[in-house]
Chains A and B, each alone.
Chain A
Amino acid sequence: MATERAGAVPDRGPGRLRAAARLLGAEAALTFRRPRHLAMLGVLAVVPILIGVAVRLVAGDGVTESIVAQVAGNGLVLTFAAFFVMLPLILPLAVSVVAGDAVAGEASQGTLRYLLTAPAGRGRLLALKYANVLLFCLAACTLVAVSALVAGLVLFPSGPVTLLSGTTVPFAEGLLRAGVAVLYASAGMAALGALALLFSTLTENPIGAISATVVLVVVSEVLVAIPQLSALRPFLLTSWWNAFDGVLRAPMDTGRMGTGLLVFAGYIVISGSLAWARFTSRDVTS
């Protein structure tokens, strides 16, 4: 009889964590080796370089007060400029593709049924899918920052950083502030990722989940831009993404960033609960 399997790996405790880490590793390997995702990460790395090169080419044509223009004075500022340019659409697009595909992609491919009969466990699989989305958000934002930093240091002078509020801080502190910006941007993307994952559990069509997320981002960017709808702003995810510029003030504007983090947490909790309710009860017929 084939019963010697029992007890191969314990059901709880460290064995369980190790098994979860193993599945997360497999998820991450799938995400970061997939050609489509690699191409996307490539784009994310190239955009900051393009911004840097563009600024370098037009530098000296009269200085404006915009942060992009400040890049010419200090390479480190390119990191912040890159987030200003990429947070509204490019980064959300990449996160939507990965998170929107997470469950619906497996469903449309048919692999979901084999993951569930492995058995991965529905709640467990969803949690690890989201953990993988978090990894991707962090990786994407870090990649943008690192690419911008390297391009900035190559193309422009470095040194103490002049903040938006006019104060000058040492280069090391500027780096630290860039690190905080990366974490904040990642959190904002993680909130969007939770929403995309929710859409992903609602359909068997990954394109549907991805485009729903992207449409939501675009619509809410538009709503944010309409002054008459300012009452809506506090509830829209997109209005909190650019609050990372709090790191460019002295002292750091933690108030607005803190509220932003709360909004992100709210989105994550609500989307996560709905996704969980849906995914643990749905019939898998694909």
Chain B
Amino acid sequence: MSPATKAGAPSAAPPPPTDENVTGIVTDRATESTGESTAENAIVTTGLTKRFRGGQVAVDDLDLVVPRGAVFGFLGPNGSGKTTTIRMLLGLVTPTSGACSVLGEPIPAGISRALPRVGALVEGPAFYPYLTGEANLRRFDAADPRSDPRTVRRRVGEALDRVGLGAAAGKRYRAYSLGMRHRLAIAATLLGPRDLLVLDEPTNGLDPQGTREVRALIKEVAADGTTVFVSSHLLSEVEQMCTHVGVMRTGRLVAQAPITELRAGTAPAIRVETPDAGEAVAVLAGLGLAGAVHADGVATAALGDAAPERICAALVREGVAVRGFAVVRPSLEDVYVRLTGEGFDVES
């Protein structure tokens, strides 16, 4: 019925305010905020664009701002450019134009300084099948020139325990189940103290139990002050843990806002079914309700602070034949679909 109230957790620890650019859900350019405060923002991109050979534009003029301490849900349907963006943030792919910085370091120039403090899961787990889970983590730890070999045993053990793989540490990766492989990939992101986790579809292919565990783990990590940048094509997967949301659609960022503001789009509305829709709109407007419109025998308006029972009484009093009367609360999912789906011209 009311996802907005059911999910109300993320207000717990609001991140430092960087909201000058996100007062509206739709941001066409966030430039005014991107230049100045890289220290306060974990990720900043300006005009980031990737055009692959063959002319296909995967990411188009992206201005992304992820405040430090945020849990940023990076949403969009498959193929909307999320993974390419993440690959550019991690220096795997070179942007065609534009710039990005991670933890205040320009990418790719500052990779060696930024990435040791970043844990990354990109496009699913990838490990050496003939090595054990533990040996795999040691292998990746050895690749980081700044990691301390003296503490590797402890850190690998802790990371494995944290994802519940302690008992399977000595098993070969080949023998791991899909869920275990996924957990191992998450363990790899937790090998050292991190300031930023970049998780690309961390729950992809996991069962509901695994999904819940990953979500709990992300909340736990975020509670330590680590910024989390998590991509997903399912809003429902991330909305419970995110403080901020960015929405991609065909390579463009169509929305970027603290989730509380996105929720503003889920404000309750009045829906009246009536043959006298025109009169109903007049009555609703007369009561001071904003956005009163009608179509196909249905009049709608934002509810605001008005009491629904009064509205209903007023309608009847004015002689409007009320066939149906309802208070509707669009879910966040509805807002998301509206932003990503066809026929809603948010770029205009």
User: Which B-chain residue is minimally distant from A34 (CB atoms)?
Assistant: B130
Complex contacts, A160 vs chain B, CB 8 Å: none
> Which segment, of A57-65, A163-171, A199-207, A277-285, faces chain B?
A277-285
- Closest CB of chain A to B54's CB: distance in Å? 13
Docked complex: A1-42 residues within 8 A CB-CB of B: 1-5, 8-9, 11, 16, 18-20, 22-23, 25-26, 30, 33-35
Does residue A125 face the partner (Cβ distance < 8 Å to B)?
Answer: yes
Chain-B contact segment, one of A95-103, A108-116, A258-266: A108-116
Partner of B112, one of A1, A109, A119: A119
In the assembled complex, the Cα of A283 lies from the Cα of B128 at a distance in Å of: 22
A26 to B143, CA, bound (A): 8
- Chain B CB within 8 A of A120 CB: yes
Q: Does B327 contact A (CB under 8 A)?
A: no
A33 to B226, CA, bound (A): 37
- Which residues of B sit under 8 angstroms from A116, Cβ to Cβ? 90-92
**A157 an interface residue at 8 Å Cβ cutoff?**
no
Quick one: which of B125, B144, B224, B225 contacts A119, CB cutoff 8 A?
B144
Give the size range of A's interface with the partner.
35 or more
Q: How far, in Å, is B191 (CB) from chain A's closest CB?
A: 9
Asked whether, in the complex, the Cβ of B140 is within 8 Å of the Cβ of A115, the reply is: yes
CA distance A77 to B23 in the complex (A): 83
A26: contacting residue among B91, B124, B142, B226, CB under 8 A: B142
Known: A111-B127, A114-B188. A283 touches B92 (CB 8 A): yes
Q: Contact check, A5 vs B120: say whether CB atoms are below 8 A apart.
A: no
With A19-B146, A118-B140 already in contact, the answer to whether A3 and B87 are too (CB < 8 A) is no
The listed residue with most B CB atoms (<10 A of its CB), out of A26, A35, A118, A120, is A118
Q: Cβ of A110 and Cβ of B145 under 8 Å apart? A: no
Asked whether A285 lies within 8 Å of B140 as measured between CB atoms, the reply is no
- Does B195 lie within 8 Å of A1, measured CB to CB? yes
Q: Is the beta-carbon distance between A9 and B146 smaller than 8 angstroms?
A: yes
Contacts of A19 in B (CB 8 A): 145-147
Q: Do A30 and B139 touch across chains, with their CB atoms under 8 A apart?
A: yes
A23 surroundings in chain B (CB, below 8 A): 142-143, 145
Instruction: Check A5–B192 contact: CB distance below 8 A.
Output: yes
Q: Which residue of A lies closest to B193 (CB)?
A: A2
Interface flag for A121 (CB, 8 Å): yes
Q: Which residues of B contact A284 (CB under 8 A)?
A: 87, 92-93
Contact A120 B92 (CB under 8 A): no
Q: Chain A: which residue is nearest B226 at the CB level? A: A2
Residues on A with beta carbons closer than 8 Å to the beta carbon of B194: 2
Q: Is the CB of A5 within 8 A of B143?
A: no
Compute how far the CA of A244 lies from the CA of B215 in the bound complex, rounded to whole angstroms.
Answer: 62
| A124: Cβ under 8 A from any B Cβ | yes
CA distance A148 to B187 in the complex (A): 47
Contact of A117 with B by CB under 8 A: yes
Could you give, for residues 177-194 of chain B, a 1 whenever the CB lies within 8 Å of some chain A CB and a 0 otherwise? 000000000001000111
Residue of A nearest to B225 (CB): A1
Q: B115 near A117 (CB under 8 angstroms)? A: yes
B126 lies within 8 A of chain A by Cβ: yes
Where the two chains meet, the residues of B that have a C-beta atom closer than 8 Å to any C-beta of A are 87, 90-94, 111-112, 115-118, 120, 122-128, 130-131, 138-149, 188, 192-195, 224-226
Q: Which 5 A-B pairs have the closest CB atoms?
A: A110-B126, A2-B193, A118-B143, A119-B115, A19-B145
Besides A1-B195, A19-B147, A113-B92, 18 other CB < 8 A contacts? A2-B193, A2-B195, A5-B146, A8-B148, A18-B149, A22-B149, A25-B142, A26-B138, A109-B126, A113-B123, A115-B143, A117-B90, A117-B115, A119-B91, A119-B115, A119-B143, A121-B145, A124-B145
* Interface positions of A (Cβ within 8 A of B): 1-5, 8-9, 11, 16, 18-20, 22-23, 25-26, 30, 33-35, 109-111, 113-121, 124-125, 281, 283-285
